[in-house]
Amino acid sequence: MRPFEYHRAGSVADATTHAASGAARFIAGGTNLLDLMKLDIERPERLIDISRLPLDAIEENEDGGLRIGALVSNADLAADLRVRRDHGVLSRALLSGASGQLRNKATTAGNLLQRTRCYYFYNPALPCNKREPGSGCSAIGGRNRIHAILGGSAQCIATHPSDMAVAMMALSAEVEVMSAGGEGRRLPLAELYRLPGDTPHIETVLNPGDLITAVLLPAPLKGRHIYRKVRDRASYAFALVSVAAVIKMDGATIGAARLAFGGLAPMPWRDRAVEDVLIGQSPSSALWNKAADRLLAEAKGYGENDFKSVLVRKTLASVLSDASVREI
């Protein structure tokens, strides 16, 4: 690992100021960053340790939602009684990710900002536009079984690996950000991420020094919460395809629907047009297929990942069947 300067931040302002210049990175859980530094993929010159900042609380908002501090561990968030009771899809998504050890260390904001697990991003011997801009994409025309079928570009088809972020996207979460200049702002999680386009190395809209301080969940969504993850082994593996769903029945028809998808795209994927297909309709296989058609209208396979279109269609149908059982 390359040498770096270590700074333990005493406050949010201290952290953002120290991160604003040079090749600096915040470190909290460190489970992804240190992994990548050992492989010489992340090369920070300065690490700002934010792990002792007071950002580890889950608080109730006036609107009935939750404010989740950036440093709340994935384990604590999944186990929080309010999350288990009112935002089940989020608890389920978290529990499906990583291992017990990693969930104890990994933080909420770190999970959002984790890097892709594309084989080529992880292999400095081969070209990767995300790691070395302009070097080329080895996945296009190479091994791309785990890669994106939505939202990719000719420069990059890497997927975002988070489960947690998929559930948060379905819940319309927002992100609270503090800038190096001391200005706070809020943005929808969907607006945090950037699609790769011609600049796959730029993954979010955050500026140097910006620190995510919290994730805001709106008031609880009634209905059935389901997170279904399809992967190569039953535990401790990234999703090939995942579906986060919150479905509220209104008698025999679907009253409200939230859907987000993992494993398909460079960011947790939500397409409101898919939800619109379902609203006011009666559950049926034909309807599930119509929703999948809408989701996959722009889908593009690259050979080895062609199966994802079929897999997400089947997974979506299975989730929607389970979620749309008429409430008694």
Partner 1 sequence: MHITLSINGKDHELDLDPRTSVLDALRDHLDLIGTKKGCDHGQCGACTVLVNGRRINSCLTLAVMHEGDAITTIEGLGTPEALSPLQAAFVAHDGFQCGYCTPGQICSATGMLEEMRAGWPSHVSEDLLAAPDLSDAEISERMSGNLCRCSAYTNIVAAITEVAEARDEAV
Q: Is the sign of the CA dihedral 103, 107, 112, 118 positive or negative?
A: negative
The smaller minimum CB distance to partner 1, of residues 49 and 304, is found at 49
Q: Report how far residue 216's alpha carbon sits from residue 219's, in angstroms, rounded to the nearest whole number.
A: 10
Characterize 9-22 residue by residue with b for buried, 16 or more Cβ atoms within 10 angstroms of its Cβ, and e for exposed: beebeebbbbbeee
> At closest approach, how far in Å is the CB of 234 from partner 1?
8
The smaller minimum CB distance to partner 1, of residues 16 and 96, is found at 96
DSSP-based three-state secondary structure for 46: strand
Residues that bind partner 1 in the complex, under the rule CB under 8 A: 1, 3-6, 8, 27, 29-31, 34-35, 38, 47, 49, 51, 75, 78-79, 81, 84-85, 88, 91-92, 95-96, 98-102, 104-105, 234-236
User: 170: which 2 tokens?
Assistant: 């379905």
> At closest approach, how far in Å is the CB of 85 from partner 1?
6
Phi/psi for 269 (5° steps) reads: -110, 125
User: 203: which 2 tokens?
Assistant: 């993954």
Q: Report how far residue 126's alpha carbon sits from residue 132's, in angstroms, rounded to the nearest whole number.
A: 10
The smaller minimum CB distance to partner 1, of residues 28 and 299, is found at 28
Distances (CA, A) of 42 to 15, 36, 59, 313: 19, 5, 33, 36
> At closest approach, how far in Å is the CB of 241 from partner 1?
16
> At closest approach, how far in Å is the CB of 124 from partner 1?
15
The smaller minimum CB distance to partner 1, of residues 50 and 277, is found at 50
> At closest approach, how far in Å is the CB of 52 from partner 1?
9
Q: Report how far residue 84's alpha carbon sits from residue 97's, in angstroms, rounded to the nearest whole number.
A: 16
The smaller minimum CB distance to partner 1, of residues 35 and 306, is found at 35
